[in-house]
Amino acid sequence: MIGSGIVKGMAQTAKNFAGTYIAPRKYLVTVEYPEERLPAKENARNFPFLVFDGDDPEAGLRCVACRICEKECPPQCIYIEKDKEKKPDYVGKMQFQPSVFDIDISVCMSCQICVEVCPFDAIRMDTEFELSNPDRFGGLLLDKRRLAKSNEYCAEIHPEETEQTEARRAEDVRKAVAKKQARQQAASSD
Ligand code: SF4
Ligand code: SF4
């Protein structure tokens, strides 16, 4: 029948319209941004940040300035300078740290390669997206102070990934302690 498609379409529209009042969770698929926000998905990603452990964003930085991410970043938007001397990290272990760690997020293409190549779980992708800024240098060139975010924050936005990372790190620590104890036992029995 001519016009039946239009009638069906109108009926569907009316059903959806009424449904937004009767069962909003099922029918309302949009939110009133910016008043309302949907939580970011676990695998959402925008720009990288540096993870720190403990309370001190400076001493707790996991980054050891190995510069692998800097070399692998396709658009070369990471710039790192290594400290001249090692410093104690948050557990007192002597580590090199970056004296300078900048990411130009106006160039970053959110590829996540820096995260994948980092052997120290020191860099992760953020989900924050409201970063527009008219000041290119002050606003979009992020230094290590602005890049540093706690491991707790990381766990909030990437819970599964952080759980796996923490389990792996705990296992690495366990192996290192066992190895050290074995070495000490061998030395004392000589
Ligand atoms: S973020 Fe990771 S890969 Fe990049 S310099 Fe630091 S430790 Fe090395
Ligand atoms: S996400 Fe990609 S482009 Fe951005 S800093 Fe990391 S490696 Fe570079």
DSSP secondary structure letters along 9-64: HHHHHHHHHHHHHH-HHHH-----TTTS-PPPPTT---SEEEEE-SS-TTTTB---
187 falls within a domain? no
182 falls within a domain? no
Residue nearest (by alpha carbon) to ligand 1 atom 4? 69
Residue nearest (by alpha carbon) to ligand 2 atom 3? 108
Is any atom of ligand 2 closer than 6 Å to the C-beta of 178? no
To test the pocket of ligand 1, the residue of 61, 67, 112, 125 to mutate (highest count of ligand atoms within 8 Å of its CB) is 67
71 falls within a domain? yes
38 falls within a domain? no
Residues in a beta bridge with 150: 52
Mean pLDDT, the chain, rounded, equals 91
User: Does one domain contain both 25 and 52?
Assistant: no
User: Does one domain contain both 18 and 62?
Assistant: no
User: Does one domain contain both 1 and 69?
Assistant: no
122 falls within a domain? yes
What CATH number does the domain containing 127 carry? 3.30.70.3270
148 falls within a domain? yes
* Radius of gyration for the alpha carbons in the chain, expressed in angstroms and rounded: 24
User: Does one domain contain both 91 and 18?
Assistant: no
Which residues, 6 or more positions from 124, have their beta carbon under 8 angstroms from its beta carbon?
48, 49, 51, 115, 154, 158, 161
Residue range of the domain that includes 140 = 48-175
User: Contact at 8 Å (CB) between 133 and 146?
Assistant: no
189 falls within a domain? no
Q: Tell me: the pLDDT tens digits for 47-102?
A: 999 999 999 998 899 999 999 999 999 999 999 999 999 988 877 788 899 999 99
User: Does one domain contain both 23 and 53?
Assistant: no
User: Does one domain contain both 22 and 110?
Assistant: no
User: Does one domain contain both 5 and 96?
Assistant: no
User: Does one domain contain both 62 and 141?
Assistant: yes
User: Does one domain contain both 158 and 75?
Assistant: yes
Q: Tell me: the pLDDT tens digits for 136-160?
A: 667 889 999 999 999 999 999 999 9
Specify the 3-state DSSP secondary structure of 106.
Answer: coil
- Tell me how many domains the chain contains: 2
Tell me how far apart the alpha carbons of residues 98 and 144 are, in angstroms, rounded to a whole number: 8
pLDDT category at 116 given cuts 50, 70, 90 is very high
Of 2-11, 13-22, 104-113, 127-136, the poorest mean pLDDT is in 127-136
Residue nearest (by alpha carbon) to ligand 1 atom 7? 63
53 falls within a domain? yes
User: Does one domain contain both 54 and 11?
Assistant: no
pLDDT category at 162 given cuts 50, 70, 90 is very high
User: Does one domain contain both 20 and 84?
Assistant: no
Is any atom of ligand 2 closer than 6 Å to the C-beta of 112? yes
User: Does one domain contain both 14 and 77?
Assistant: no
To test the pocket of ligand 1, the residue of 79, 83, 120, 144 to mutate (highest count of ligand atoms within 8 Å of its CB) is 120
Tell me how far apart the alpha carbons of residues 136 and 105 are, in angstroms, rounded to a whole number: 9
